[in-house]
Amino acid sequence: MTDNGNPLLQDWQTPYQLPPFQQIQCEHFAPAFAVLFEQHLAEIDALAENQATPTFANTVAAFDAAGATIDRVRLTFENLCASESPAALQAVEREMAPLLAAHDSKVAMHAGFFARLDAVHQQAAVLDLSEEQQRLLQRMHTDFVRTGAKLQGFDRERFAAIASRLADLQTQFAQNILADESSYQLPLTSEVDLAGLPDFLRQSARSAAKERGLEGYVITLSRSLVQPFLTWSTRRDLRETAWCAWTSRGENPARDNRPIAREILMLRQEQAHLLGYENFADYALADRMAGSASAVHALLSQVWEPAKASVEQERQALAAQAAALGEPADIEPWDWYYLAEKVRVARYELDDAQVKPYFSLDAMLAAMFDCAERLFKLQFVEQTSVSLYHPDVRLWEVRRGAEQVGIFLGDNYARPNKQGGAWMHVYRKQRRHGGKVTPIVVNNNNFARTDDGPTLLSFDDVRTLFHEFGHGLHGLLSDVNYGRLSGTNVPQDYVELPSQLMENWATVPEVLAKHARHVSTGEPIPAELIERIRASQTFNQGFQTVAYTSSALIDMALHLRNDLDGIDIARFEVAERERLGVPREVGMRHRLPHFGHIFSGGYYAAGYYVYMWAEVLEADAFDAFEEAGNAFDPALADKLHRYVYSAGDSREQGSAFRAFRGRDPRAEPMLRKRGLLRTE
């Protein structure tokens, strides 16, 4: 192919074959994709036109190996659009989203290739295939069918058109949230405005102002700033202002996500009907562990009423605290974090302003790397001479002895051009077929930067760090032959198992005793403080569970609907909250106009429940280590590596869990962990 000087189309003579970040310009992507679309379709044409009898090798494995060049450029594009996306790149993203979706549809609906794939699939029972090969054949065939390969005529054209339009709308939805988050500023111009804020939060607010070219202090809508502000500010009026701005993201009249979400929902419903499903939820769940909405509701119902009962007990404790402080007894949503922190400090003698100095970012990175070494024999060796896409980003070689397992990138700070939240992605996925390929994994967080001294984390931040590292390990430890089965390419209600499971090691006393050291004195965290932190883990769980579960239930109710013509998602949300009995003071973790999980893409649509589904698995899995009396039990760690972190989608997930645990998962450990286990 002719590269015309475009670095995206050249061989990448860079360390670890990373993208040549310093050479890539926004204007390189569209012409590169134009070339790569044509090249990739030519590869699929060649597979389809093969005159030999269709076999696993010349059809299934060959398709898995195709498209390597477009994959590396697409992954680079996706990562930059999420992590470092100025206005020019956002414009390219809007341009490319429908074109990328159209290309995917051309591949998925390639009649010639699907005929060969279907022929192999029909012979699956008599082919001499390994478990992993059988899995690849089944997963690939399912992928094609679910993306319209069997549709004919108008239905086929309409399905492709819907996919293209959805990509456009979902990109608009995500960019509107980013614009709301990056443009909002709550200036704190006097000492009165700063009342109650601990030093670390003042430093972060000052850094946010400086980053935006402003004097003084600024609170943005980054969760790492707005949630601590709601927790410590004694200015109830400013807390209300921040809360209202935070929860109204996506409703700005200039970039209103509500009509966008309505069109997304209607198009998803039409897609589901074209494929023979009654609604989108049925379509989405057919390819997940849960299998049906009834299974999801059976799980969520186990926590819903106990969580609401816990919220009422928590509300009473907060009301008593408010009275003691001379605050209004009529608690509003912007009061909950503030009063809950007061109760937590009193109940557990835990003040985050005193705890955070033990949790510097560098120390917690060392802690999670230490856990990876003890569990999986990995070493993380930082390399500082490699050019990356932003100065914030750090790179580690991941080794096991003399072997290089992969590359790990850490991008941990909030920025105006970076999407909110925390996530893991890859620049390159692991595979062996066609030659050994090691993974390049990136973890993104949005911690608040401080200009003076090390970055200090709340314990919730520490859990987030370990959570994303669990996803990272899922990508790094992947040990499969085929890219389609690699790493995190698993059903959505299983993908959160490795991440949520890794959170448990953040609370292991010996890990904290070794790594949680006071940033000024170097003294290890006191054992009794560790115990108070662990004891406090069930505190406020009614609030947390209701905030999460209400979002999951409303997501499911929305995607189970058959009549979506003219739906107003804001009114639907209000009606569902009332029907479910969501306590007014709690609020949802994600209101629908900014619910990026379900509207910025289709991955978690009708699937926000997956975090709790996976929590059942991870709580039961970590119980095995508790039962062994050793969080680093070698035999269990080996099984965890083999059946969870390295297996990817090479075996059915229920079977993989049973191979690790010796039985099916039980919900009791999850309920106990949340403090919701009924004792009758």
pLDDT tens digits for range 317-330: 999 999 999 999 89
CA angle 172, 176, 180 (to 5 degrees): 175
Looking at residue 555, its amino acid is D
**Residue 135 near residue 651 (C-beta atoms within 8 A):** yes
What pTM value is reported for the model? 0.94
Rounded-to-5 percentages of helix, strand, coil across the chain? 60, 5, 30
Parse the chain into domains and list their residue ranges.
Answer: 7-178, 184-248, 357-539+612-673
Cα separation, 38 vs 70, in Å, equals 10
Between the alpha carbon of residue 388 and those of residues 285, 385, 667, the distances in Å are: 38, 9, 43
CA angle 311, 316, 321 (to 5 degrees): 120
DSSP string for 372-392: HHHHH--EEEEE-SS--SSTT
Eight-class DSSP state of 518: -
Residues 6+ apart with CB under 8 A from 414: 208, 220, 222, 224, 225, 420, 446, 447, 448, 449
pLDDT at 2: 63
Question: Are 7-178 and 357-539+612-673 equal in CATH topology?
Answer: yes
The alpha carbon torsion through 77, 80, 81, 86 (nearest 10 deg) reads -130
Between the alpha carbon of residue 427 and those of residues 17, 18, 100, 271, 465, the distances in Å are: 10, 8, 17, 30, 20
Beta pairing partners, 440 = 407, 428
CA angle 410, 414, 420 (to 5 degrees): 100
Cα separation, 345 vs 572, in Å, equals 37
CATH of 7-178, one of 3.40.50.300, 3.40.50.1370, 1.10.1370.40, 3.40.190.150: 1.10.1370.40
Q: What is the per-residue pLDDT across 495-520, written as a single tens digit (0 to 9) for each?
A: 999 999 999 999 999 999 999 999 99
- Catalytic residue of the set 84, 327, 468, 615: 468
pLDDT at 45: 98
- Token reading at 504: 């448990």
Which residues of the chain, if any, have pLDDT below 70?
1-2, 678-680
Q: How far is CA 306 from the centre of its chain?
A: 27
pLDDT at 352: 79
DSSP string for 241-256: HHHHHHHTTT--GGG-
**Residue 572 near residue 566 (C-beta atoms within 8 A):** no
Helix axes 333-348, 223-232, angle to 10 degrees: 70
The sign of the torsion formed by the CA atoms of 577, 588, 221, 539 equals positive
**Residue 542 near residue 305 (C-beta atoms within 8 A):** no
Residue 314 appears among annotated catalytic residues: no
Cα separation, 392 vs 383, in Å, equals 14
Closest CA to 618 of 675, 653, 669: 669
Q: What is the per-residue pLDDT across 561-594, written as a single tens digit (0 to 9) for each?
A: 998 988 999 999 999 999 999 999 997 899 999 9
357-539+612-673 in CATH: which number?
1.10.1370.40
pLDDT at 3: 80
